[in-house]
Structure 1
Amino acid sequence: MLTVLLADDHALFRSGVRAIVDTQPDLTCVAEVTDGRAAVEAVARLRPDVAVLDVRMPNTDGLTAAEAIVAAPGNTTAVLVLTTYDSDESLHRALRAGVNGFLLKSIPPEEMVSAIRVAGRGDTAIDPSVARRLAPRIATSVRAPEPPPELDRLTVREHEVLLLLADARTNAEIAAHLHLGEETVRTHVSRVLAKLGLRDRAHAAVFAHTNGVVRAVGEGRRPARP
């Protein structure tokens, strides 16, 4: 059973999410709070598996709370950030903090439940519409002039997987696109993360866009090894 904490200053939205969570046989809501400061305190006290935080809250905002939760010594709580606004600054800051998800509040209920489960097992869920639209804009402002040499550690297949991660594809979508099994894709993803020294697939997407990897495709650059 995954335990969930909800932090949102809008009572109607919060109660709606709780109703969705509590109808699931494998999820239970252990607390509701209305601001980021209370979220940090509740996570430290209750140690929920997943904390779902709204970005805009009084006293302490959701991103500041997320940073505090993730950075706390011994933290085991995964953090999902919810927002009404698809701000590139918010996305970039959330990913830098090490959250397990960045989702729009308009997400369908079944996708919200799925994202909580994904976060609960330590993976990362980013709203595809957010990642695909905002990542190129993030890249425009901070992209390195040339793709980094670390790319040469990747095989051609691993490079293809990295590009699909940059497009916010799931393992199932990558498998279908490359005509591979999902277990094989998981292996490739793990190798990409290990070779590039990245924490998770969300950071792989940011890496690809901020280091010129996507641009390198158009310029014909490929990894050195097959």
Structure 2
Amino acid sequence: MIKINQQTIHANDLIDDLTTKDHKDIFSKMEKDTDIFQYQSLSQLKFELLFRTKTLKAARDLNNSQVQFTTFTYAFCNKKYWNRISNGGFLLKPNVRPSVAILDVLKNGKLYAFDCSTGIAIVLYLATLYTIGSRRFDLLFNGLYLMDWKFDNDLWLTQKYGYGFIPGDIVHFNNPDVDPKESHWRAENVIFMADDQYYGHGVGIKKADTIITFLNKKRKPNPRISAYLMNLITRPVLTNIYQQ
């Protein structure tokens, strides 16, 4: 359910704004969800719809780039814009515009390799850039650091349990019987794209069963438990990046 100032909003109320399939899919899922999505203004609701559509675009863009999948140990980046930290993270170099550096991941994908959680972070930072523009992005994210689940204070995350996935949500596959020699496949963090379509760095845009089949091939000998899609939903909190 979607409410603006305690008033329930339906698709007919936004007929001029729901102009793309992504917009319609997102709104429909939110409208049918048992949770109540509360907004103070129509502008705030439209901002979330925009951010979610840009998250889907960012996921497709990263999927179409030539970035590589690897573990923290072997992660690398374009040294022109980033310093690689010993833990495998990428720290923005001084006097480099954050917007230029994050877009370079797409532009020069062959110069980058990272794990799936860093891939999710990159998707969300790209979505933020696409949503608020380079000028404001550069002001908010000076000193950008790409590493696992470490996010800037202006882009933080919240979690809830359930299967009411909304396009643009981050969801998670678990692989409890992973082969210790391939422990980086213990989980796969993905963006929910649409009905049974998920983007994960290292697996691409695939159906849930396909991702589970892939992860099951990474289990230890004589496994007992199949990989599975968790009922955990992770969402960015947009309060600090929203501007009326």
TM-score range for the pair, normalised by the shorter chain length: under 0.3
Structure with the higher fraction of residues in strand conformation: 2
TM-score by length of 2: 0.26
